[in-house]
Amino acid sequence: MRLWMLGIAAIVLSFISLFIGAINITPMDLLDWESDETHIFLISRIPRLMAIILAGAGMSIAGLIMQSLSRNKFVSPTTAGTLDAAKLGILISMLFFTNVTYTQQVIFSFAFALAGTFLFMQILDRIKFKDVIFVPLIGIMYGNILSSITTFLGYEADLLQNLSSWLMGSFTLIIAGRYELLYVSIPAIVLAYIYANKFTVAGMGEDFARNLGLSYKLVLNIGLVLVAVISTTVVLTVGVIPFLGLIVPNIVSLYLGDNLRKTIPHTAVLGIVFLLICDILGRIIIHPYEIPVNVTVAVIGSAIFLTMLLRGRAYAK
Amino acid sequence: MIEIKGLTKQFGKKPVVEDVTVTIEPGTITSFIGPNGAGKSTLLSMVSRLLEADTGEVLLDQNNVKKWKSSDFAKRVSILKQANYLNVRLTVRELVSFGRYPYSKGRLSAADEKFVDQAIEYMNLADMENKYLDELSGGQKQRAFIAMVIAQDTDYILLDEPLNNLDMKHSVQIMKILRKLVDELGKTVVIVLHDINFASVYSDRIVALKDGRLMKNGPTSEIINSDVLREIYDMEIPIQEQNGCRICVYFNSHT
C-alpha cells in the first residue's frame, strides 16, 4: 500500500464526514456565510473531523510506540492499563477538588496515565514468561484492576454517571470549544516522528540499543510520556476508543515492517482512515440517530483482531 | 588496547566472575572458553559495559570504559549477543544501516551508505538486502547481524556465542569471516565459544575460565594441549594434529 493512496482515501472520507449528519448540509449552503448550515458546519462538523483526525492518528501512533518499546505486538494503551489509569486520574481529580477545573483534570489524568503505563512496563520487566499473548493478557487484567478501583470510588462518591460518559468513546458531543485539548497531541505526534529511529533501536532491546550508544532508559521514558500525553488528550475529549492502537500499527507492520521512520506516517493516516470509516458508519446506520464510534470500532476492530490472532500468531513472534 | 583488571561480579551471593585480569591483544581473535557457568558471557558483558562490575576495572586505551561517552564508546567497541530471538521486522539493509547509528543518529550520509554497502557486500548479503529478517534462516540472520557490526566499524568486535544454533557449514562461514576481519581489516575480535575446536582452529589467543576464575591465558598453541584442557574441563582430551590444526577428540573420552 502506498502513502498517497491512504492519503486520498483520508481526504475523500473527510469530505464525506463533513457532509453527513442529522442536518443535511451541501457545499452550496456554505456559500452563504450567515446561514444556519454554515454555522453548524463551523461549530460541529469541522471540529468533529479534526477530533477524528487527531484521535485516529494519535491513538495509532501511541499504540505503535508501545508495541515497539514493549517489544510485543499486542500491547497498546487499551491493553496496558494506560487508558484505565487515565480514567482513574479523572475520578481522583473530581474527588480531590470540589470545583474541579479542566486543567486539574488534564494534569491528574496525565499523571495517572504516565504512572500507570510506567508501572506496567515495570511489571513487564519482571515477568520471565514473555509470550505474545500472555503479556497483553496481564495488561488487560491490570487495566481491569485499575478500572475496578475507579468504579468502586465512583460508586462510593456517587460519580458513576459522570464516569460512564468517559467510558464511551464518541464524537457526538464534539463541538467547537470542547475538543481543543486534542491539539496538544500534535507536538507529541511530531516528537514521535523525530524520535522514530531511537524507538526502533530501543525496540530491539536494551543490550542492542546500548551497543549502538543509545541511552535506552531515556528513550523509553520519552516514549512513555508521549503515549501518556496522547492517551490523556483523547480520553478527556473523545473517550475510550478500543482496538485502534492495537490493529492499525499491526496492519502497517505486516506490509511495511517495523522501521518506525517509515511506518509512522502510514500508521497515522491509516488510523485516520479507519476511524473515519467507523464514525461515518455509526452516523448512517440508524440515521438520523448515531451509534457511538466506540461501538462501530469495537465491532469492526474485534473482527480484524481475531483474524490477526488466528492467522498471525506466527508473524507476531 | 583493552585491559581487564581484577574484575569481579556477583549475582546475589554467588560470585560469577572473580578477580579476572586479562589484556586483549589488538589485531587478534581472542576466544573465551570454559565449561558452563564459567562466567565467559558475564565477563564479555562487563567489557562492553552492558553489565557493571562490582570491583575492578576495564580500560580502553588507558581510560576506564565507564568514563567513555556512550556515542564515542559505540564507535570503538561493538557487542553482539545472541540475537536470534529478535522479532523486529526490519529488512537486512535497514538493520545494517542501524550499525551507522553512532555516527549518523539515523540520518545516513553518503559516506554512511557506503559503509552499509560494503558491509552487505562483505557478508554476501547483497541479493537478500531487501528481505525481512524473519524470512531468513538462522545462518543468514546471524550474518546480517554481523554485517551490522561491520558497518558500525569499531576496532573491537565482541561476540557472545555467535555459532549458537548454527549448522556446521554456517559456523565455518562465520569463523572464516571473523578471521578475514582480523587479517584484512585489522579488527580485534573477542568471542565466547563453546566448541573448543573452533577456538583451536581460528583463534590466536585463548582465555580459559572456570567457576569465574581465570585458568589460563595465552597463545592458542599453549592452551590446546591435554594437560591444560584436563585442568579446565575435568576431562581427558586427546589431541590430534590434522593439516596443521590441533583437533580435540573428546567425544568418547572418560568423564
* pLDDT digit string, tens, across residues A48-83: 999 999 999 999 999 999 999 998 888 999 889 999
Of A73, A203, A211, the CB nearest to B74: A211
Grid-cell match 485516529, residue found:
A56
Grid cell listed for A117: 503505563
Grid-cell match 502506498, residue found:
A2
Taking alpha carbons only, the member of B34, B7, B3 closest to residue B20 is B7
Is A204 an 8 Å CB contact of chain B?
A: yes
Largest CA distance in chain B: 58
Grid cell listed for A119: 508501572
Query: B234 Cβ partners below 8 Å, 6+ apart?
Result: B35, B255
* pLDDT digit string, tens, across residues B151-173: 999 999 999 999 987 889 989 99
Three-class SS of residue B30? strand
Q: Which domain holds residue B149?
A: 2-248
Per-residue pLDDT, A129: 76
Taking alpha carbons only, the member of A107, A103, A105, A106 closest to residue A94 is A105
Region A244-254: mean pLDDT is 94
Is A131 an 8 Å CB contact of chain B?
A: no
Average pLDDT score, chain A:
90
Residue B126 belongs to a domain: yes
Average pLDDT score, chain B:
92
| Distance in angstroms (rounded) separating the CA atoms of residues A61 and B212 | 46
DSSP symbols for A258-297: S-HHHHHHHHHHHHHHHHHHHHHHHHHTTTTS---HHHHH
Taking alpha carbons only, the member of B25, B20, B23 closest to residue B56 is B20
Q: Which residue from A minimizes the CA distance to B158?
A: A211
Per-residue pLDDT, B151: 96
Of B72, B88, B98, the CB nearest to A212: B98
pLDDT band at B85 (very low <50, low <70, confident <90, very high): low
CATH of the domain at B100: 3.40.50.300
Beta bridge partners of B77: B156
Chain-chain contact of B49 with A210 (C-beta, under 8 angstroms): yes
* Cα-to-chain-centroid distance, residue A51: 11
| Distance in angstroms (rounded) separating the CA atoms of residues B220 and A223 | 48
Residue B253 belongs to a domain: no
Per-residue pLDDT, A316: 54
- Count: domains in chain B: 1
Residue B254 belongs to a domain: no
Is A15 exposed, middle or buried (CB count within 10 Å of its CB: 0-12, 13-18, 19+)? exposed
Is A316 an 8 Å CB contact of chain B?
A: yes
Residue B184 belongs to a domain: yes
At B219, give phi and psi (nearest 5°): -60, 150
| Distance in angstroms (rounded) separating the CA atoms of residues B157 and B78 | 5
Complex ipTM value = 0.88
pLDDT at B69 over 80: yes
- The residue that leads in pLDDT, A195 or A130, is A195
Chain-chain contact of B106 with A198 (C-beta, under 8 angstroms): yes
The domain limits of chain A are: 3-316
pLDDT band at A268 (very low <50, low <70, confident <90, very high): very high
Phi/psi region, residue B27 (left: phi>0; alpha: psi -120 to 50; beta: rest), is left
Per-residue pLDDT, A174: 87
Per-residue pLDDT, B87: 73
Superfamily the domain A3-316 falls into: ABC transporter involved in vitamin B12 uptake, BtuC (1.10.3470.10)
Grid cell listed for A153: 470510588
| Distance in angstroms (rounded) separating the CA atoms of residues A158 and B253 | 78
- Residues A252-272 as b or e (16 or more Cβ within 10 Å = b): bbeebbbbbbbbbbbbbbbbb
Residues of chain A contacting B98 with CB distance shorter than 8 Å: 197, 200-201, 204, 212
| Distance in angstroms (rounded) separating the CA atoms of residues B121 and B105 | 23
Determine the distance in angstroms separating the CA of A248 from the nearest CA of chain B, rounded to an integer.
Answer: 16
Per-residue pLDDT, A98: 77
Is A130 an 8 Å CB contact of chain B?
A: no
Are residues A245 and A63 in contact, defined by beta-carbon separation less than 8 angstroms? yes
Region A3-31: mean pLDDT is 91
* pLDDT digit string, tens, across residues A93-115: 988 887 888 888 899 999 999 99
Of A198, A201, A317, the CB nearest to B87: A317
pLDDT band at A300 (very low <50, low <70, confident <90, very high): very high
Give how far Cα A124 sits from Cα of A18, A23, A121, A220, Å: 43, 49, 5, 13
Is B146 exposed, middle or buried (CB count within 10 Å of its CB: 0-12, 13-18, 19+)? buried
Alpha helices in B89-167 (DSSP H): 92-98, 101-104, 110-122, 138-152
Region A11-36: mean pLDDT is 88
Chain-chain contact of B94 with A197 (C-beta, under 8 angstroms): no
Q: Which residue from B minimizes the CA distance to A250?
A: B89
